């Protein structure tokens, strides 16, 4: 992958925009972020307004180095130090007790703050030049597909964002792994490119999502059951049923989109089929781009082949499950229930 860096004029303009309370979209290794000065209430409010995001949904503060962590967290447990040392810069977000001066808009009104140090060179350039925390959720409307290219941000917001730094395609393509280090426990709250097994090799006591669900949890980005959704309704389908269902739904002339891990066995005139392949890294990297492509195909529904059950696919499965749940909420009441439910048995 080509390493893309900002020019000095671009960097100067972006830093000044942030200091003026404007929003700047920038690339990270996961997805593009919608950046705001993390200590500027007006800029933070603008993030929620532009994304149409509930104010109870917290933001992630991006830093260029762990050395500034104490400005945002009043306590840094040993487990957090070990995880940061191993995975920062990188696609890991830590949820910690917030420092007293952190604005409530950053935390969603909670006593916790989410922080990470991204590895993308352009993000590092921006954060170092800015010299402070940048609060940056994904640069898309709330609940929709995250952007992994600058063009996705332009399609989403147009001129509403003061500046978009174009750093090329994001390397990972899915949002960061989120781990909470609170009250003596270490809990995985959102799967990402860093797996539970990788976390446990550094901190063996990390509990998984299933265990964490039985405990009171902080609200974190992307934790709603319905999220990461295309506009076109999305349904998850078992691998051995997807071809038959696509053919059946398209018989009446309706256009159906399919995201699978293999090519189709037949030819269907009203089916748009994308073969995303069987490799998890490539599938994750391309997931949102593929779903955006299918969203524009003029289809009435996107059928997605259910992904494997092993740990390597946890992050992909999480995003698809939440996307299907969002579609189930939005779908019209007169559709067949088994399809509208978002996940077929």
Same domain? For 200 and 315 the reply is no
Same domain? For 313 and 208 the reply is no
In a domain, 334, yes or no: yes
In a domain, 259, yes or no: yes
Alpha-carbon Rg for the chain, nearest whole angstrom, is 20
Number of domains in the chain: 2
Question: Checking phi first, is residue 125 left (phi over 0); if not, alpha (psi -120 to 50) or beta?
Answer: alpha
Render pLDDT for 291-322 as a digit per residue (tens, 0 to 9): 999 999 999 999 999 999 999 999 999 999 99
Last residue of a domain, one of 212, 242, 257: 212
Render pLDDT for 248-283 as a digit per residue (tens, 0 to 9): 998 878 899 999 999 998 888 899 999 999 999 999
Assign residue 103 the CATH number of its domain. Answer: 3.90.870.10
Reported as a pLDDT band with limits 50, 70 and 90, residue 107 is very high
Beta bridge partners of 259: 274, 304
In a domain, 74, yes or no: yes
Same domain? For 33 and 114 the reply is yes
Same domain? For 202 and 326 the reply is no
In a domain, 32, yes or no: yes
Cβ atoms within 10 Å, residue 293: 15
Same domain? For 69 and 160 the reply is yes
Residue-level pLDDT at 1: 46
Three-class HEC string of the chain: CCCCCCCHHHHHHHHHHHHCCCCEEEECCCCEEEEEECCCHHHHHHHHHHHCCCCCCCCEEECCCHHHHHHCECCCCHHHHHHHHHHCCCCEEEEEEECCCCCHHHHCCCCEEEEECCCCHHHHHHHHHHCCCEECCECCCCCECCCCCHHHHHHHHHHHCCEECCCCCCCCCCCCEEEEEECCEEEEEECCCCCHHHHHHHCCCCECHHHHCCCCCCCCCCCCCCCCECCCCEEEECCCCHHHHHHHHHCCCCCEEEEECCCCCCCCCCEEEEECCCCHHHHHHHHHHHHHHHHCCCCCEEEEECCCCCHHHHHHHHHHHHHHHHHHHHCCCCCCHHHHCCECC
| Mean pLDDT on 6-31 | 96
Same domain? For 207 and 256 the reply is no
pLDDT at 331 over 70: no
| Mean pLDDT on 102-120 | 97
Residue-level pLDDT at 255: 94
In a domain, 248, yes or no: yes
Q: Which of 139-153, 197-211, 331-345 is modeled with the greatest confidence?
A: 139-153
Same domain? For 188 and 277 the reply is no
Last residue of a domain, one of 212, 244, 269: 212
Q: What angle do CA 177, 179, 279 make, to 5 degrees?
A: 25
In a domain, 226, yes or no: no
Render pLDDT for 88-105 as a digit per residue (tens, 0 to 9): 999 999 999 999 999 999
What is the rounded average pLDDT for all residues in the chain? 92
Last residue of a domain, one of 148, 182, 212: 212
Contact present, 51 and 147 (Cβ < 8 Å): no
Residue 70 exposed, middle or buried by CB count within 10 Å (0-12, 13-18, 19+): exposed
Residue-level pLDDT at 215: 67
Same domain? For 127 and 45 the reply is yes
Rounded Cα distance between 323 and 191, Å, is: 15
Backbone phi, psi, residue 214, to 5°:
-90, 5
Assign residue 325 the CATH number of its domain. Answer: 3.40.50.11030
Reported as a pLDDT band with limits 50, 70 and 90, residue 330 is low
Q: How far is CA 69 from CA 81, 120, 271, 306, 339, in A?
A: 10, 19, 50, 39, 46
Same domain? For 40 and 131 the reply is yes
Residue-level pLDDT at 317: 97
pLDDT at 214 over 90: no
Residue-level pLDDT at 221: 87
Q: How far is CA 238 from CA 155, 159, 211, 344, in A?
A: 32, 41, 26, 7
In a domain, 3, yes or no: no
Residue-level pLDDT at 213: 57
Same domain? For 117 and 242 the reply is no
pLDDT at 135 over 70: yes
* Domain assignment of residue 154, given as a range: 8-212
Same domain? For 262 and 187 the reply is no
In a domain, 345, yes or no: no
- Residue that wins the pLDDT comparison between 215 and 32: 32
Closest by CA position to 113, among listed 181, 30, 23: 181
Residue 1 exposed, middle or buried by CB count within 10 Å (0-12, 13-18, 19+): exposed
pTM of this structure: 0.93
Same domain? For 172 and 239 the reply is no
């Amino acid at each position: 992958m080509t390493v893309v860096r900002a020019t000095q004029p671009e960097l100067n303009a972006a830093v000044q925009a942030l200091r003026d309370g404007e929003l700047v979209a920038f690339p990270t290794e996961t997805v593009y972020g919608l950046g705001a000065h993390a200590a500027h209430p007006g800029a933070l409010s603008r993030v929620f307004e532009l994304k149409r995001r509930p104010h109870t949904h917290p933001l992630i503060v991006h830093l260029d180095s762990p050395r500034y962590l104490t400005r945002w967290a009043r306590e840094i447990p040993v487990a957090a130090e070990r995880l940061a040392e191993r995975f920062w810069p990188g696609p890991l977000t830590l949820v910690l007790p917030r420092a007293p001066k952190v604005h409530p808009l950053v935390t969603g009104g909670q006593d916790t703050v989410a922080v990470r140090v991204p590895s993308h060179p352009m993000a590092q350039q921006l954060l170092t030049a800015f010299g402070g925390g940048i609060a940056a959720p994904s640069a898309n409307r709330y609940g929709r597909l995250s952007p992994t290219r600058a063009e996705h941000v332009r399609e989403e917001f147009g001129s509403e964002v003061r500046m978009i730094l174009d750093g090329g395609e994001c390397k990972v393509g899915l949002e960061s792994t989120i781990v909470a280090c609170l009250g003596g426990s270490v809990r995985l709250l959102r799967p990402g490119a860093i797996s539970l097994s990788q976390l446990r090799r550094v901190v063996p006591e990390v509990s998984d999502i299933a265990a964490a669900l039985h405990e009171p949890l902080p609200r974190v980005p992307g934790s709603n059951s319905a999220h990461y959704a295309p506009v076109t309704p999305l349904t998850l389908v078992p691998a051995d049923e997807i071809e038959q269902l696509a053919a059946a739904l398209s018989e009446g002339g309706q256009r159906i989109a399919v995201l699978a891990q293999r090519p189709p066995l037949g030819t269907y005139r009203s089916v748009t089929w994308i073969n995303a392949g069987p490799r998890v890294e490539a599938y994750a990297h391309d997931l949102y781009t593929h779903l955006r492509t299918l969203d524009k195909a003029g289809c009435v529904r996107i059928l997605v082949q259910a992904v494997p059950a092993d740990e390597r696919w946890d992050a992909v499965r999480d995003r698809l499950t939440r996307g299907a749940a969002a579609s189930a909420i939005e779908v019209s009441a007169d559709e067949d229930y088994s399809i509208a439910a978002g996940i077929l048995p």
